[in-house]
Amino acid sequence: MHELRMELHSTDRAVKVDAVKKVIASMTVGKDVSMLFTDVLNCVQTGNIELKKLVYLYLINYSKTQPELTLLAVNTFVKDASDSNPLIRALAVRTMGCIRVDRITEYLCDPLSRALRDEDPYVRKTAAVCVAKLYDIAPDLVEERGFIEILHDLISDSNPSVVANGVAALSEIAESSGKDVMRITASVLQKLLAALNECTEWGQVFILDSLAKYTPADGREAEGIIERVTPRLQHANSAVVMSAVKVILSYMELMGSQNSDAIRALTRKLAPPLVTLLNSEPEIQYVALRNINLIVQKRPNILENEIKVFFCKYNDPIYVKMEKLEIIIKLVSEKNIDQVLLELKEYATEVDVDFVRKAVSAIGRCAVKLERAAERCIAVLLELIQTKVNYVVQEAVIVIKDVFRRYPNRYESIIATLCDNLDTLDEPLAKASMIWIIGEYAERIDNADELLETFLETFEEEDPAVQLQLLTATVKCFLKNPEDTQDMVQRVLDMATEESDNPDLRDRGFIYWRLLSTDPDAAKIVVLGDKPVIEDDTFKLEPALLNILIGQIATLSSIYHKPPDSFVVRRRAGLPTEEDDEEDDDDDDEYDEEVRDSSAGGVDLLDMGGMSVNDHKQFTPTAPMTRVAGPEKAGGIEVFSGFVQEGGKIFMELEFSNVSAGQDISTFAIQLNKNAFGLSPANQQVIFQPPVSPGSSGTTRVEMVMNPAMQVPTPNGQNVNPQIQVAIKNMHNNGVFYFAVNLNFECLFSADGEMEKTAFIEAWKSIDDRHELYATVSDLPADSTSIEDVQQKFAAYNIFFIARRPVPNAEGQEVVYFSMKSVHGMTFFAELTFKRGVNAAKVCLKTEATSYGGLAKSALESLLRSD
């Protein structure tokens, strides 16, 4: 280290440069070289640009840990920012923006202001990006200094690179602030379109992406822009192509149906570039395929004649093959089914097991989708079963069950072939499917009872899914042929109700038992009744979500097929200000009483009384508001939403911020899509009182009621989707927009969830350990792990304290038990472990409503985190 220091102070430039390089090499491999800070900084006094770059690199890296020392470099930055060499001016501005030390920002403003008007385009383009950097640290400063206006001026810059970076910076600020700072006017639009022809490939992407967020005034304007954008479809850079596709698809919506010729022409133009993307690198193919998946759902006619290009090549990577298969199924029609079947049959002989299974299952899905081709599909499946390849047979059995459900009583002739392959089945899902088929068609299978009998031998070892099917199939068999199966059904019912500790199985067993013993005819109606015919809607997206995602083409959102809000955790620019504090005070006054009530009710705090009384926080339920729609999607309104329970009622809280709706807004209508909770609005009208004038924001609440008809059942074993899809109609202009918001589950905990200690213990023990859910919540706010506080906070959310006890043999550790019950009557039991001095907690949750367990667990986690 000493040697390095000497070299850094050497007068020989080459030695100096080498020394700094060594320092940076150590920094890269993770060695701490921060003690050389002043020595390295000294080297910055040089006219040599190579050395300067190295020193700046070092500065950026250590600015966070050494903010005080970084200030020493300010003078150099300021000086370099007015150097005669434009490369050095730009370097200074670029580096200053990367240093995220608050106090640097004040020094940055003047040089930045000059750089934005620099005569050299290289400096201006660097300064443009720097504004976005500064906005991330100090948004107020950017607005105060009028930098946003200057960015606007840069859109008319003579240099295309400057325009491109200006657009990028403005779009970023618009996104993070939620304000429409981009303000695309007619003249801005023309400038953007002109720059599109001139700037680099990246610049074209920035411009196209910002155009995609713009809503043209009418169909004609949309058409005009599309015309200027279509040449981009021929660009060699796939990002340019994808962004152009996004603009065209979004604008096509606006062109409306009166212009069907133009739309047909566009549809024809879009297909070739999309197909060409499939000849790029596999990574790009993957991106393209995920997006095409959305496009074929929205506008199936674009690629309806191109199914061949999605046929898999022998040497495609697996992830590409899987995506292609998904698209083949979406494009399959009666015209091309024969060709598709030949392909799928070919895939079923390949080596990769996952791919083969997906191909086999695809054949079944084709059968379900195309009634006229079902017979041919089944023939292929039977052929594949003859290969006796274990996983092929199992997958085939699973899909054939779906085919039977889609076309009842039509293809029973193949049951015999299936029955020949019983031995191969060793996977639960395949077994369960086969057993379902046997039960359903028991009267056509001569030895149905014998077949079931063989499965019953291993009943206790089977997976719950298989057990449930066995139970049902045996009962069906009994109802159809009571004489021979009396013994068998008795045995199954015994095993299900007495020997099993699976609650689902027990419940179903008891129900059958009661039905059979009280009213066999009713049992027939229930058990043998007609089942709803299924459709092939696997992997099909809800229209509301699809519309959201089409607007997100060429973003990660289109890869995950999830709206951006569900995975982007965006800090809202700027830090919380006094406003937030004020809010807290208000809440304290209002809910004082309520909190005191709950703490008086049975919570035993006597031991700790003296210590914790003083600074107890007061808790009151609040809705965690998330941004669910931006002004570009919601007609100039930015929407935040969340759920809260108050006075036993559940409310959806809405905050509308009128960014650019152009008038006062007050009246809306709301509708919810079916969801996993059966929530629906009590009243469709949503009123903001007073009306929200442009530039301001307002909040309102919509009361929610439980409506079983609105509930989408969640299949057993799957996790509930917390998403609630909402449509809002703006009554002022009849515009409709959609968004999706995740339900924060704690708002559904009802006030009668309290339990006796003994009842709790019994319930806790009765739930199989396999259904336990764990989480560790770390990095909690420093003062939030006081058990008393947690207890009080939880009480406000109807999460009831049961007991607490120290963990034996673990000093400082304590466990606390809570119970809660949802308004639907599902109960949840939680065990939280805290350790003194550690700002983390372990959460363990048990419930019989396993599908909802994950939600309850994350509700607890987020409540622990909240303050």
Partner 1 sequence: MISRQYRDDVGRAAADSFRLQVVAAKETGTDAPIKRIENCSFLYTRHLNMYFVAMTRSNVNPALVFEYLFQLVKILKAYLGEEFDENAMRNNMTLIYELMDETMDFGYPQNCAVDVLRLYINLGNVKPQDEPEPSQLTSQITGAIDWRREGIRHKKNEVYIDVLESVNLLLSSTGSVLRNEVQGAVQMNTKLTGMPECKFGLNDKLVIDKDKGDGKQTVEIDDCTFHRCVRLGKFDADRTITFIPPDGEFELMHYRVTDNINLPFRVIPAVQEENNMTKVSINVKVIASFSDQLFATHVVIKIPVPKNTSKAKIKNSFGRAKYEPEQNAIVWRVKRFAGKAECIITADVDLMPMTRPKPWSRPPIQLEFQVPMFTASGVHVRFLRVYDKSGYHTNRWVRYITKAGNYQIRI
Question: In this chain, which of 69, 78, 109, 275 binds partner 1, going by CB under 8 A?
Answer: 275
311 vs 749, which CB is nearer to partner 1?
311
Q: Taking CB under 8 A as the criterion, which residues in 595-654 touch partner 1? A: none
- Which amino acid makes up residue 297? Q
Asked if 65 touches partner 1 (CB under 8 A), the answer is: no
Residue 624's CB is within 10 A of a number of other CB atoms, namely 18
Count CB-CB contacts under 10 A for residue 180. 17
- Looking at the Cβ atoms of 20 and 495, the one nearer to partner 1 is 20
* Rounded CA separation 595/644 (Å): 16
- Any contact of residue 132 with partner 1 (CB under 8 A)? yes
The reply to whether 86 sits near partner 1 by the rule CB under 8 A is yes
241 interacts with partner 1 by CB under 8 A: yes
Task: Between 633 and 846, name the residue whose CB sits nearer to partner 1.
Answer: 633
Tokens (6 digits) for 860: 């607890």
Edge to edge, what strands does the sheet with 841-847 contain?
773-777, 841-847, 827-835, 813-821, 800-806
Q: Least CB distance from residue 30 to partner 1, whole Å?
A: 8
CB 806 within 8 A of CB 630: no
Judge if the upstream peptide bond of residue 563 is cis by omega within 30 degrees of 0. no
Beta carbons within 10 angstroms of residue 158's beta carbon: 7
3-class secondary structure per residue, 741-752: EECCHHHHECCC
Q: Around 690, how many Cα atoms within 13 Å sit in the side-chain half-sphere?
A: 4
Q: Shortest gap between Cβ of 370 and partner 1 (angstroms)?
A: 20
Count of chain residues binding partner 1 (CB under 8 A): 95
Identify which of residues 236 and 606 has a Cβ nearer to partner 1 in the complex. Answer: 236
Q: Which of residues 200 and 663 has its CB atom nearest to partner 1 in the complex?
A: 200
- Answer for which of 70, 76, 165, 784 binds partner 1 (CB under 8 A) is 165
Contact call for residue 186 and partner 1 (CB under 8 A): no
For residue 556, state whether it binds partner 1 (rule: CB under 8 A): yes
Identify whether the C-beta of residue 651 lies closer than 8 Å to the C-beta of residue 682: no
Q: Is 197 in the site for partner 1 (CB under 8 A)?
A: yes
Element spanning 704, H or E: strand 697-706
Query: Is 423 one of the binding residues for partner 1 (CB under 8 A)?
Result: no
Exposure string of 343-359, with b = 16+ CB inside 10 Å and e = fewer, is: bbbebbeeeeeebbbbb
Is the CB of 313 or the CB of 596 nearer to partner 1? 313
Is 201 or 587 the residue whose CB approaches partner 1 more closely?
201
Residue number, 109 or 670, with CB nearest to partner 1: 109
Alpha helices in 315-369 (DSSP H): 318-331, 337-347, 353-369
Q: Strand, helix or coil at 518? A: helix
Question: Burial, 191: exposed, middle or buried (Cβ in 10 Å; 0-12, 13-18, 19+)?
Answer: middle
Nearest-approach distance from CB 197 to partner 1, in angstroms: 5
Rule CB under 8 A: is residue 282 a binding residue for partner 1? yes
Is residue 303 within 8 Å of 271, Cβ to Cβ?
yes
Report helix, strand or coil for 855.
helix
554 binds partner 1 (CB under 8 A): yes
Q: Does 304 bind partner 1 (CB under 8 A)?
A: no
Nearer to partner 1, 50 or 597 (CB): 50
Which residues inside 166-185 make contact with partner 1, applying CB under 8 A? 168
Judged by CB under 8 A, which of 96, 170, 184, 199 binds partner 1? Answer: 199
Contact predicate 182/219, CB 8 Å: no
Residue 193 tokens, joined: 């379109």
| CB nearer partner 1, residue 171 or residue 822 | 171
| Residues between 327 and 386 that touch partner 1 (CB under 8 A) | 339, 342-343, 346, 349-350, 352
Closer of 287 and 302 to partner 1 (Cβ): 287
Our CB check for partner 1 shows the closer of 343 and 788 to be 343
Output the smallest distance, CB 638 to partner 1, in A: 16
Closest by CA to 99, choosing from 125, 117, 76, is 76
Instruction: Rank residues 392 and 802 by Cβ distance to partner 1 and give the closer one.
Output: 392
Residues 751-790 that bind partner 1 (CB under 8 A): none
| CB 20 within 8 Å of CB 58 | yes
Q: Does 283 bind partner 1 (CB under 8 A)?
A: yes
Shortest distance, position 478 Cβ to partner 1, whole Å: 39
Looking at beta carbons only, is 125 or 508 nearer to partner 1? 125
Spatial distance between the Cα atoms of 857 and 818, rounded to a whole number of angstroms: 12
Question: What's the order of all strands across the beta sheet hosting 735-742?
Answer: 685-692, 665-672, 723-730, 735-742
- In the region spanning residues 486 to 545, those forming contacts with partner 1, defined by CB under 8 A, are none
Exactly one of 209, 449, 462, 788 binds partner 1 (CB under 8 A); that residue is: 209
Tell me if 803 sits within 8 A of 758, measured CB to CB: no
Nearest distance from C-beta of residue 336 to partner 1, angstroms: 12
| Nearer Cβ to partner 1 (389/665) | 389
Smallest distance, partner 1 to C-beta of residue 93, A: 10
**What is the C-alpha separation between 231 and 559, in angstroms, rounded?**
25
Report yes or no: 164 and 202 within 8 Å, Cβ to Cβ: yes
| From 40, 138, 155, 162, residue interacting with partner 1 (rule: CB under 8 A) | 162
Q: Does 315 bind partner 1 (CB under 8 A)?
A: yes
Residue 702 carries which side chain, given as an amino acid letter? V
Q: Whose Cβ is closer to partner 1: residue 166's or residue 853's?
A: 166
Tell me which DSSP letter residue 755 carries. Answer: -
The amino acid at residue 110 is D
Among 349, 352, 347, residue whose Cα is nearest residue 329: 347
Shortest distance, position 184 Cβ to partner 1, whole Å:
19
Within residues 14-53, the interface with partner 1 by CB under 8 A covers 21, 24-25, 28, 50, 53
Amino acid 598 reads S
Question: Which residues between 66 and 85 bind partner 1 (CB under 8 A)?
Answer: 85
User: Is 572 a residue that touches partner 1 (CB under 8 A)?
Assistant: no
The one among 129, 263, 429, 546 contacting partner 1 by CB under 8 A: 129
Q: Which of 69, 109, 262, 284 is in the footprint of partner 1 by CB under 8 A?
A: 284
Q: How far is the CB of 19 from partner 1 (least distance, A)?
A: 12
635's tokens: 């007609």
Q: Supply the minimum distance, in Å, between the C-beta of residue 282 and partner 1.
A: 7
Non-local CB neighbours of 423 within 8 Å, separated by 6+ positions: none
